């Protein structure tokens, strides 16, 4: 009886290879900010007066505007900077600049935000430019906010990070305690913002307007943001706070799945 021979390994069929797709590239937070900033600049048209925001996200938008002006794709754009840092950046890019005294109505403002709640209310000013930002962005016809999705919160202060308040230097400790006591029910802590000075030692951070910043940290929801705003502004030592309520026209959010645009609904506050 013939004995069946085992087939050689070479004769065995080769199993089909399973192709494993490469893992999707994960965009950094800065790359997400850049995507949102470029989308926001699509709103800019030749001949516009544009409020130029301050911070890591707004910096990308200012760069983009300068690039489009150099290419000739935008013409006769005038920028209104919201800080000395943005002023210097825009000048280096050749963006013509002016101010609210000369242009009291701004066509469009583009800026980042530290928090965005479901009603498109914002926390801004962790970079220390909240007063000038609020002045310029309060004078604009359309305010476009650019963020990555990490900035979306359920309520103002929901990130647990700072809600800044610009205060005068005179008796700042008294003002800080007044602010803390306003929000004692929300577990508020008030802390003077510090920065590293020329001698490599910590010293109080000073705004472009020569004031201090007291950062408020909340453990719980502060409730009605509009009532909180009014209460803060009634304190004599307060210059301005970092809640930008009812100001954003459009929020552009960049995330892992792309960019989405959220527009303020009529009457939304």
8 Å CB contact between 111 and 129: no
pLDDT in tens, 176-214: 999 999 999 999 999 999 997 666 789 999 999 999 999
Q: How far does CA 98 lie from the centroid of its chain?
A: 23
8 Å CB contact between 80 and 51: yes
SS (H, E, C) 37-103: HHHHHCCCCCCCEEEECCCHHHHHHHHHHHHHHHHCCCCCCEEEECCHHHHHHHHHCCCCECCCCCC
pTM of the model: 0.86
- What confidence category does residue 25 fall into, taking pLDDT thresholds of 50, 70 and 90? low
- The secondary structure of 106-131 as a DSSP string is EEEEEEE-SEE-TT--EE--TTS-HH
DSSP state of 135: H
Q: Which of 31, 45, 115, 133 is catalytic?
A: 133
pLDDT at 5: 47
pLDDT at 257: 81
8 Å CB contact between 50 and 77: yes
pLDDT at 269: 61
Mean pLDDT of 211-234: 97
- What confidence category does residue 4 fall into, taking pLDDT thresholds of 50, 70 and 90? very low
> β-strands 212-217, 163-167: how paired?
antiparallel
Domains of the chain from N-terminus onward: 29-152+245-257 (3.40.50.1360), 163-239 (3.30.70.260)
pLDDT in tens, 48-101: 999 999 999 999 999 999 999 999 999 999 999 999 999 999 999 999 999 999
* 202 carries an active-site annotation: no
Does residue 113 register a pLDDT over 50?
Answer: yes
pLDDT in tens, 125-153: 999 999 999 999 999 999 999 999 999 99
């Amino acid at each position: 009886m013939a004995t069946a021979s085992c087939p050689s390994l070479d004769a065995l069929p080769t199993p089909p290879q399973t192709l494993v797709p490469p893992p999707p590239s994960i965009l950094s937070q800065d790359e997400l900010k850049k995507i949102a900033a470029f989308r926001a600049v699509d709103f800019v048209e030749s001949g516009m007066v544009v409020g130029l925001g301050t911070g890591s996200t707004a910096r990308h938008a200012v760069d983009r505007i300068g690039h489009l002006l150099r290419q000739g794709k935008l013409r006769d754009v005038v920028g209104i900077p919201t800080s000395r840092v943005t002023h210097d950046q825009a000048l280096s890019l050749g963006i013509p600049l002016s101010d609210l005294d000369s242009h009291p109505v701004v066509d469009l403002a583009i800026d980042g935000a530290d928090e965005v709640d479901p009603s498109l209310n914002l926390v801004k000013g962790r970079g220390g430019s909240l007063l000038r930002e609020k002045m310029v962005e309060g004078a604009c016809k359309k305010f476009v906010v650019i963020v990555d999705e990490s900035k979306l919160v359920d309520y103002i202060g929901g990130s647990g990070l700072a809600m800044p308040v610009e205060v005068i230097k005179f008796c700042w400790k008294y003002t800080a305690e007044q602010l803390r006591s306003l929000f004692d029910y929300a577990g508020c802590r008030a802390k003077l913002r510090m920065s590293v000075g020329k001698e490599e030692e910590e010293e109080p951070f000073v705004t472009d307007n020569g004031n201090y910043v007291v950062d408020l940290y909340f453990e719980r929801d502060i409730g009605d943001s509009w009532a909180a705003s009014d209460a803060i502004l009634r304190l004599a030592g307060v210059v301005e706070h970092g809640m930008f309520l009812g100001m954003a026209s459009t929020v552009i959010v960049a995330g892992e799945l792309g960019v989405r645009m959220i527009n303020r609904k009529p009457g939304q506050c």
